[in-house]
Amino acid sequence: MEDMIFALQNSVLCKGMSEEQISNFINTSRITKRQYNKGSIIFHEQDKPVKLYLLMEGRVSICKDTMSGRKILITEITRCGDIFGEIYLYMQKEQYNIYATVQENAKIMEFNSELFAMKKGMLEPSHIIVFQNILMLFAQKAYNMNMKLQVLSSGNLRQCLVRFLFNQQMEENVIQLCMTREAMAEYLNVARQSLSREFGEMQEEGLIKVNKKTITILDQEKLEEYL
């Protein structure tokens, strides 16, 4: 159970809870721990949402396929404690319109939907805290989606890329990317080759310097002209 406690301590799901409260939450909930191999599908489009998922280790992509068969990356689940599937479960949707695929061998905690039924007289104090934390998570995800819409509606590829980079910028002149180049291309809904070409052109123009996942901004003022 120690690995489950560790994952929940790193999750917004149990934010502000003591180890004792987390243990109580585990002991009074229907939780399954499962292993998924790379390439596995955790849930398909049109499956009925019956679980909430929490990543313990590995990497999971949430995707949607277009009618022409093109895969669009919605988001990547990469950090221990990250949860997914909660919106469909809470809204009692009849089916998913997305799917979850394993990019790296993953260990996942699965919470039965009965946990969130909020039946009178059955709520543990630890569950009430979890409900409050999930509401905060919904707000954060709505914010993230708004940020993505801002990026994708920025204009051409360079404008979208600059907006994306500035959203990731946490310190002056340096950006540490949290996703692979392939994942970034899927996020921006462009071919990976197009993204690499744009990065190359921006380097040639002296706007940025790219070193794996580290982007150094060389001309902040010029970049801001694309916003």
Q: Which helix (H) or strand (E) holds 52?
A: strand 51-65
d(CA 186, CA 67): 16
pTM for the full predicted model? 0.69
User: In terms of domains, do 128 and 163 share one?
Assistant: no
User: In terms of domains, do 37 and 22 share one?
Assistant: yes
pLDDT reported for residue 138: 86
Q: How many CB atoms are located within 10 Å of the residue 10 CB? A: 17
Q: Average pLDDT in the 145-149 region?
A: 88
User: In terms of domains, do 122 and 140 share one?
Assistant: yes
User: In terms of domains, do 100 and 211 share one?
Assistant: no
Share of the chain above pLDDT 70, in %: 96
User: In terms of domains, do 84 and 181 share one?
Assistant: no
User: In terms of domains, do 70 and 178 share one?
Assistant: no
User: In terms of domains, do 120 and 179 share one?
Assistant: no
pLDDT reported for residue 3: 92
Can you give the CATH number for the domain in which 24 is found? 2.60.120.10
Greatest Cα-to-Cα distance within the chain, rounded to the nearest angstrom: 65
Q: Which residues contact 25 (CB under 8 A, 6 or more apart)?
A: 8, 14, 17, 124, 126, 127, 130
**Residues 107-136: tens digit of each pLDDT:** 999 998 776 666 655 677 888 888 889 888
d(CA 109, CA 127): 16
Higher pLDDT, 203 or 172: 203
User: In terms of domains, do 66 and 142 share one?
Assistant: yes
**Residues 81-96: tens digit of each pLDDT:** 999 998 888 888 899 9
Can you give the CATH number for the domain in which 196 is found? 1.10.10.10
Q: Which residues contact 152 (CB under 8 A, 6 or more apart)?
A: 160, 188, 189
User: In terms of domains, do 162 and 119 share one?
Assistant: no
Total domains in the fold of the chain: 2
User: In terms of domains, do 91 and 11 share one?
Assistant: yes
Q: Over 90: is that where the pLDDT of 101 sits?
A: yes
User: In terms of domains, do 86 and 194 share one?
Assistant: no
User: In terms of domains, do 83 and 127 share one?
Assistant: yes
pLDDT reported for residue 122: 60
**Residues 4-36: tens digit of each pLDDT:** 999 999 999 999 999 999 999 998 888 999 999
- Please classify residue 14 by burial: count the beta carbons closer than 10 Å to its beta carbon, then call 0-12 exposed, 13-18 middle and 19+ buried: buried
Last residue of a domain, one of 151, 169, 186: 151
Q: Over 70: is that where the pLDDT of 211 sits?
A: yes
The whole domain housing 73 covers 2-151
Higher pLDDT, 170 or 147: 147
Round the CA-based radius of gyration of the chain to a whole number and report it: 20
pLDDT reported for residue 21: 93
d(CA 226, CA 222): 8
pLDDT reported for residue 116: 66
Write out the two tokens for 14: 């149990």
- DSSP letters along 155-186, please? SSHHHHHHHHHHHH--BTTEEE--S-HHHHHH
Q: Over 90: is that where the pLDDT of 69 sits?
A: no
